[in-house]
């Protein structure tokens, strides 16, 4: 592979694939086309950048559409975790030569569909050549009172959305489609995780802290615990089990749920007085919200209670990867 972009030059490429997408935002004074975009927000802006590298964050044989999903959806999930309303994003794209028009066309189409669906404007970016595909997305959202990691209070309940663990369960078949097969809901959890944007926004005022689960439920709860200077106790008997996990060994399922990343569900804490409101929210969103434990005084640990005994994660035998 040569490190050039033949056929179209950089400007033609941007013009062809990344201009003229639908969408606008009242606070975006100037989008693509100048040296900088101009953003004049009326509320606080949260921003997050995420990079997806070919062969690392998405398999090298991914289609353009699959790569777009694996780059965009996890990046957007950070806005959900802060309770923000999506506003705009920028795209820094590195592509190897020779240019693969079909791949880039599928990538740009899917990215434009996703950004339209979630209500974000593509407001700028950068395009370069390089040794492999690298997709960096900076997401920008609006929120008056962001959900932070450091807000957990003693005796808060710990909650999680959806059925975490399925993206991790899908991994063997994602990496080796010829040799392994997986239920469709696992494969969907990997290739098109659903950023919990509406949940995040509705948790503002209800939740005391939140994080999106990218590295694994236990590990990410560890970030909440450390940031807040408290312990979080997870009860394995309370963990939500995807119906498609039925029939798999308990240890395997526990490992998927507690240690598997890539689902982008939200883990959050809330005062016990919010239980009814959160249950009503679950019904309204048609999304399971499950109480899985609680906060207690401590020094920033996650404790897993399994069969009546509390351990740190490494001692439960759930950490297989």
What is the phi-psi region of residue 199: left when phi exceeds 0, alpha when psi lies from -120 to 50, beta otherwise?
A: alpha
In the bound complex, what is the minimum distance in angstroms from residue 107's beta carbon to ligand ADP? 10
- How far apart are CB 50 and ligand ADP at their closest, in Å? 15
Say how many C-beta atoms besides its own lie within 10 A of residue 235's C-beta: 16
186 and 166 Cβ atoms separated by less than 8 Å: yes
123 contact partners, CB below 8 Å, separation of at least 6: 25, 28, 31, 32, 37, 39, 88, 89, 90, 140
User: If binding is defined by CB under 6 A, does position 299 make contact with ligand ADP?
Assistant: no
Q: Which does 32 bind (CB under 5 to 8 A by kind): ligand ADP, Mg ion, none?
A: ligand ADP
Q: Does 64 participate in binding ligand ADP (rule CB under 6 A)? A: no
User: Would you count residue 276 as binding ligand ADP (CB under 6 A)?
Assistant: no
Q: Which of 188, 193, 156, 198 is nearest to 291 (CA)?
A: 156
Cβ proximity to ligand ADP: between 33 and 272 the closer is 33
Which residues contact residue 157 at a Cβ distance below 8 angstroms, ignoring those fewer than 6 apart? Answer: 269, 270, 271, 272, 274, 275, 291, 293, 294, 295
Q: 């060994």: which residue's tokens? A: 249
The reply on whether position 10 binds Mg ion by CB under 5 A is: no
Q: Which residues 107-126 are close enough to bind ligand ADP by CB under 6 A? A: 122, 124-126
Stretch that binds Mg ion, among 10-18, 35-43, 44-52, 123-131 (CB under 5 A): 123-131
Residue 300 touching ligand ADP (CB under 6 A): no
Residue placing its CB nearer to ligand ADP in the complex, 14 or 76:
14
Which option in ligand ADP, Mg ion, none does residue 33 bind, with CB closer than 5 to 8 A by kind? ligand ADP
Q: Is 309 in the site for Mg ion (CB under 5 A)?
A: no
Which residues touch 30 (CB under 8 Å, ≥6 apart)?
36, 37, 38
Q: What are phi and psi of 35, to 5 degrees?
A: -70, -35
- Which listed residue (2, 10, 12, 126) binds Mg ion by CB under 5 A? 126
Site string for ligand ADP, 216-235 (x = CB under 6 A): --------------------
Contact positions toward ligand ADP, by CB under 6 A?
14, 18, 32-35, 91, 93, 122, 124-127
């Amino acid at each position: 592979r040569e490190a050039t972009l033949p056929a179209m030059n950089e400007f033609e490429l941007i013009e062809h694939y990344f201009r003229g997408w639908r969408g606008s935002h009242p606070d975006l004074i100037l989008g693509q086309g100048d040296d900088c975009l101009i953003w004049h927000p009326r509320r606080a802006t949260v921003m997050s950048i995420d990079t997806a590298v070919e062969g690392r964050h998405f398999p090298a044989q991914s289609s353009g559409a699959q790569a777009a999903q694996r780059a965009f959806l996890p990046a957007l999930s950070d806005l959900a975790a802060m309770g923000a309303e999506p506003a705009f994003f920028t795209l820094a794209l590195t592509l190897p030569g020779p240019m693969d028009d079909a791949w880039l066309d599928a990538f740009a189409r899917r990215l434009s569909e996703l950004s339209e669906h979630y209500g974000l404007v593509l407001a700028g970016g950068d395009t370069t050549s390089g040794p492999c595909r690298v997709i960096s997305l900076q997401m920008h959202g609006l929120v008056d009172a962001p959900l932070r990691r450091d807000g957990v209070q003693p005796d808060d309940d710990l909650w999680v959305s959806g059925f975490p663990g399925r993206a991790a369960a899908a991994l063997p078949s994602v990496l080796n489609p010829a040799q392994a097969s997986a239920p469709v809901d696992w494969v969907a959890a990997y290739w098109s995780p659903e950023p919990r944007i509406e949940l995040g926004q509705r948790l503002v005022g209800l939740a005391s802290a939140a994080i999106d689960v990218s590295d694994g439920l236990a590990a990410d709860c560890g970030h909440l615990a450390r940031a807040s200077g408290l312990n979080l106790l997870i009860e394995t008997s309370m963990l939500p089990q995807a119906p498609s996990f039925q029939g798999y060994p308990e240890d395997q399922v526990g490992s998927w749920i507690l240690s598997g990343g890539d689902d982008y569900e939200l883990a959050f804490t809330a005062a016990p007085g919010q239980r009814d409101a959160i249950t009503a929210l679950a019904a309204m969103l048609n999304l399971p919200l499950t109480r899985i434990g609680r906060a207690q005084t401590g020094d920033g640990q996650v404790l897993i209670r399994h069969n009546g005994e509390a351990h740190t994660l490494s001692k439960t035998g759930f950490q297989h990867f």
